[in-house]
Amino acid sequence: MTLTAIIMTKNEAEHIAECVASVRFANHILVFDSFSTDDTVVKAQAAGAQVIQHPFENYASQRNAAIEAAGNTDWILFVDADERVTPELAEEVRSVIQQPGYVGWKIPRYNYIFGKLTRWAGWYPDYQLRLIKVGAVYYDPAVQVHEVGVLAGAEGHLKQPLLHYNYRDLAQFAHKQRVYSAYEAKILHEAGKRPKFRNYILQPLRQFKWRYFTLQGYRDGLHGLRLSILMAWYELQKYLHLRKLWQQN
């Protein structure tokens, strides 16, 4: 079975070389770039990866386009630039793609937020569908954020985690959450959902309760408390953005 590692990028010069190095066990490495304006492409090519640039529409369509661009391969391993594949995960991936009966595998992630491994508040095991059999899986184009895979067969779960260095500091966290909030508000708007006054209060409270109590964010101490509050804040921002969309109309 042949394996292609696909790394999705947009201005990831800081991460790309180390990410490419972590997937060298694959038969082929493809960097699928959304027209970066930094040195991502140059560094990816210097690290030995093939680079294809494709305009970004949404996360699901970008992954589907990358699958098509991968060409003749049996399996695809999707890795984000700020993720690393450990030797243990690489060995497990090589093993499971030889097994019959599965068309997709979800991989757990160790999320490092503000430099701290975060095990609660919803950040572990954080399973992601990243290892897929070509021709048997696509990403639902109707789900544009936090994309969802559609499988024509069985799905399994790997044991070894990806290492995800996703939020370096508060500024980066705020930027990404603003992007996610805007996308989610757009989806609600396109579905005809109008914000009600209670949404500005109840939805953030529910988000905090879910993160801090149900998902046991309190077990990460002050770190978990801060993350739960931040996620509640961006839940509020989602509905405020939704209100602006309706006002613009």
**Closest Cα partner for 149 from 163, 130, 134?**
130
Q: Note the pTM of the prediction, 2 decimals.
A: 0.86
Residue 99 has pLDDT above 80, yes or no: yes
Distance CA 153, CA 104 (A): 8
Binning pLDDT at 50, 70 and 90, where does residue 146 land? confident
Assess whether pLDDT exceeds 80 at residue 143: no
Q: Which domains does the chain have, with CATH numbers?
A: 3-166 (3.90.550.10), 169-248 (no CATH)
pLDDT, position 249: 77
Would you say 22 and 82 are in contact if contact means Cβ atoms under 8 Å apart?
no
Query: pLDDT of 45-88, one tens digit each?
Result: 999 999 999 999 888 899 999 999 998 999 999 999 999 999 99
pLDDT score for 58: 85
pLDDT digits (tens, 9 = 90+) for 155-173: 999 999 999 998 889 998 9
Beta pairing, strands 28-33 & 50-53: parallel
For the chain, the average pLDDT equals 94
Calculate the alpha carbon distances from 58 to 55, 81, 145, 148 in Å. Answer: 9, 17, 7, 12
Q: What percent of the chain has pLDDT over 90?
A: 87
Sign, CA dihedral 25-30-49-167, equals negative
Which pLDDT does position 144 carry in this prediction?
Answer: 64
pLDDT band at 145 (very low <50, low <70, confident <90, very high): low
Task: Quote the CA–CA distance of 191 and 85 in Å, as a whole number.
Answer: 37
For residue 120, name the pLDDT band (cuts at 50, 70, 90).
very high
